[in-house]
Amino acid sequence: MKVYNIFSPAKAGSVELKNRIVMAPMTRCRAIGNIPNKLMAEYYKQRCGAGLIITEGTAPSPNGLGYARIPGIFSKPQVEGWKLITTAVHDCGGKIFVQLMHTGRISHRFNMPEGSHIISASAVKAAGQMWTDSEKMQDFPVPEGMTSEELIHTKAEFVSAAKNAMTAGFDGVELHGANGYLLEQFLSPVSNLRNDLYGGNIEKRCR
Ligand SMILES: Cc1cc2nc3c(=O)[nH]c(=O)nc-3n(C[C@H](O)[C@H](O)[C@H](O)COP(=O)(O)O)c2cc1C
């Protein structure tokens, strides 16, 4: 087995890292109005000694903004806000990937912008409650099961968010496929009761 010094350079795909320390994604709920800001730039700058930072979960669309004060990467002001952060990290030799996190049913309308929808693989409510700034703890709602058109639309939102990430100066994108958010809501037979191309056996749930 080859042993590496944790402070030696490494590569993540084609991205060169100054060391092998990677900061895990952590939701911080500091993006007032869902727009990345100077406080967040300071937070990431303080941690730029890591070879690679994965950002907090970031919504690819208004429907993905389930938690209070999480950032998005679908509007121009959000892209401009992220530029502050990627610049701060790059200025000290760090690299940074944005984590795209669509919350799906882990959401509440009190946290979401007007006109957005709480969507999931199927209309199955998550157990438990979540924080909302206006009404404190609230039960998770019953989400809308996505139509196949919505599925295609949501996929396009991820693509567009990834393109925005490149515009904002990110070195890469991580898709959040775990922890009960939208992508995992499709993977799990508990939350995915579909019987179309996207539900049933594991192959279809992964599609
Ligand atoms: C406050 C907090 C926020 C988190 N937010 C995210 C997140 O946005 N995305 C994610 O993939 N994981 C998130 N996590 C999970 C951490 O990334 C995870 O704890 C980390 O990978 C370390 O794993 P461990 O807790 O098993 O050691 C969060 C964890 C904490 C404590």
pLDDT band at 52 (very low <50, low <70, confident <90, very high): very high
Is the CB–ligand 1 distance for residue 66 below 6 Å?
no
Q: What is the pLDDT of residues 140-193, one digit of tens each?
A: 999 999 999 999 999 999 999 999 999 999 999 999 999 999 999 999 999 999
Mean pLDDT of 17-21: 98
pLDDT of the residue at 184:
98
Is the CB–ligand 1 distance for residue 154 below 6 Å?
no
Average pLDDT, the chain: 98
pLDDT of the residue at 182:
98
User: Ligand 1 centroid vs 57 CA: distance in angstroms?
Assistant: 9
What pTM value is reported for the model?
Answer: 0.96
> Which of 21, 27, 183 has the most ligand 1 atoms within 8 A of CB, as the residue to mutate?
27
Check: CB of residue 138 under 8 Å from CB of residue 108. Answer: yes
User: How many angstroms separate the first and last alpha carbons of the chain?
Assistant: 36
User: Ligand 1 centroid vs 27 CA: distance in angstroms?
Assistant: 8
pLDDT of the residue at 195:
96
Q: What is the pLDDT of residues 96-120, one digit of tens each?
A: 999 999 999 999 999 999 999 999 9
- Angle, vertex CA 129, rays to CA 174 and CA 119, nearest 5: 50
Where do the domains of the chain lie? 10-206
pLDDT of the residue at 51:
98
Domain 10-206 architecture? Alpha-Beta Barrel (3.20)
pLDDT band at 25 (very low <50, low <70, confident <90, very high): very high
Check: CB of residue 198 under 8 Å from CB of residue 78. Answer: no
